Amino acid sequence: MTNKVEQAPKSWLGRNSKLLANDPGLFLKKLTTWLRPMRADYRRRWALGLRKWMIRYHEELLFNKVTWMGSTARKMVLDAWVYQQILYDVKPDFVIEIGNAEGGSAKFLANMLDLLGHGQVIAVDIDHSLFAIEHPRVHKVTGDSLAPETLQRVAQIAAGGRGVVIHDGDHSREHVLKDLRAYSQFVAAGSYLIVEDTVIDLFRAGDGLGNVDGPLGAVEQFVREDPRFQIDTSREYFLITFNPRGYLKRVA
Ligand SMILES: C[S@@+](CC[C@H](N)C(=O)[O-])C[C@H]1O[C@@H](n2cnc3c(N)ncnc32)[C@H](O)[C@@H]1O
């Protein structure tokens, strides 16, 4: 079956030919709106294309415009909405976030858990010097995600509960794969292991972004090794995501 989004786009006239036949007055109104010079900027935006939009988001928005309640969150905001839905569906006892940076994403997760009225955030980072948030649900664990002491502390806080894990730490393929192997134990059946920034593998040489051998390869290898996890592409319904093939559902 051909995916709708893969079909060649029709011209403006092609898309509106039915309207022209059925309601020429409304057609004329739309046409003049579309052609008005003041709309040129919007026409340019709409013609941008998803790939260029994604690059612009990384270059111009990610590190200085995207905040959650005043705290920098290095997130694709559409993914944050998907996280909200996953948290609502799973209702976890804890969310482990590997890689926290300024802490805006940990605050976002804690605020979602506030709304659910339940759950803790275990915020793991090798370096919490940028971390600038405090929240009663957030428990900082400072250390390399793979260090035995870090894993031990995480296990203590998790205490056998029902977990969601979000990986946003060291993005090298090798490290991500090791993290997935180590942290999959905390993911409950029916819950998610989310691997952030698989999109960086899709950028092209010359884009000036990302690591070409990053998290995406780790995901592909991990799901081959561990059949309890399946890539859930249904969570990519916005099309735009930092995590293509990065929403892993534990199915067994
Ligand atoms: C992309 S930032 C995290 C962004 C954050 N999740 C957000 O959405 O705002 C990556 C973080 O991973 C941390 N990190 C890198 N290597 C790590 C490792 N081996 N163990 C734990 N954290 C690591 C870095 O210190 C950095 O703060």
Range with the lowest mean pLDDT among 10-24, 92-106, 116-130, 232-246?
10-24
Range with the lowest mean pLDDT among 5-14, 17-26, 125-134?
5-14
* Ligand 1 atom closest to Cα of residue 197: 1
Span 25-39, average pLDDT: 80
Q: Residue 211 has what pLDDT? A: 63
Q: Residue 201 has what pLDDT? A: 93
Rounded Cα distance between 191 and 92, Å, is 8
Is pLDDT larger for residue 111 or for residue 15? Answer: 111
Span 241-246, average pLDDT: 98
Rounded to a whole number of angstroms, the CA Rg of the chain reads 21
Supply the residue whose CA is at minimum distance from atom 7 of ligand 1: 74
Beta bridge partners of 167: 98, 195
Range with the lowest mean pLDDT among 30-39, 138-147, 196-205?
30-39
Q: Residue 46 has what pLDDT? A: 81
**Secondary element (H or E) of residue 28:** helix 24-35
Query: How far is CA 70 from its chain centroid?
Result: 19
pLDDT tens-digit readout, 51-97: 899 999 999 999 889 999 999 999 999 999 999 999 999 999 999 99
Integer angstrom CA distances of residue 178 from 104, 212, 231, 233: 25, 18, 18, 23
Is pLDDT larger for residue 37 or for residue 105? Answer: 105
Query: How far is CA 34 from its chain centroid?
Result: 33
36 C-alpha to center of ligand 1: Å?
46
Supply the residue whose CA is at minimum distance from atom 18 of ligand 1: 144
Q: Residue 1 has what pLDDT? A: 40
Among 125, 152, 151, which residue's Cα sits nearest to residue 138?
125
- Ligand 1 pocket, Cβ-based, cut-off 6 angstroms: 73-75, 97-102, 104-105, 124-127, 144-145, 168-170
124 C-alpha to center of ligand 1: Å?
8
* Ligand 1 atom closest to Cα of residue 144: 20
Q: Residue 2 has what pLDDT? A: 43
Supply the residue whose CA is at minimum distance from atom 5 of ligand 1: 100
202 C-alpha to center of ligand 1: Å?
20
- Say which amino acid occupies 198: T
Q: Which domains does the chain have, with CATH numbers?
A: 4-47 (no CATH), 67-250 (3.40.50.150)
* Ligand 1 atom closest to Cα of residue 169: 12
Q: Residue 30 has what pLDDT? A: 84
pLDDT band at 16 (very low <50, low <70, confident <90, very high): confident
Q: Residue 7 has what pLDDT? A: 61
Q: What is the mean pLDDT of the chain?
A: 92
Residue of 170, 177, 179 to mutate, ligand 1, most atoms within 8 A of C-beta? 170
pLDDT tens-digit readout, 192-229: 999 999 999 998 877 878 767 899 999 999 999 999 99
In 92-135, the DSSP E strands lie at 94-98, 120-125
pLDDT band at 37 (very low <50, low <70, confident <90, very high): low
∠ Cα 228 74 116 (to 5°): 60
Residue of 82, 126, 164, 166 to mutate, ligand 1, most atoms within 8 A of C-beta? 126
Rounded Cα distance between 151 and 143, Å, is 9
Q: In what order do the strands lie in the sheet with 247-250?
A: 138-142, 120-125, 94-98, 163-167, 192-195, 247-250, 229-231
- Look-up of token digits 């292991």: 193
Question: Token digits for 171?
Answer: 């993005």
Please, what is the end-to-end C-alpha distance for the chain in angstroms?
29
- % of the chain at pLDDT higher than 70: 94
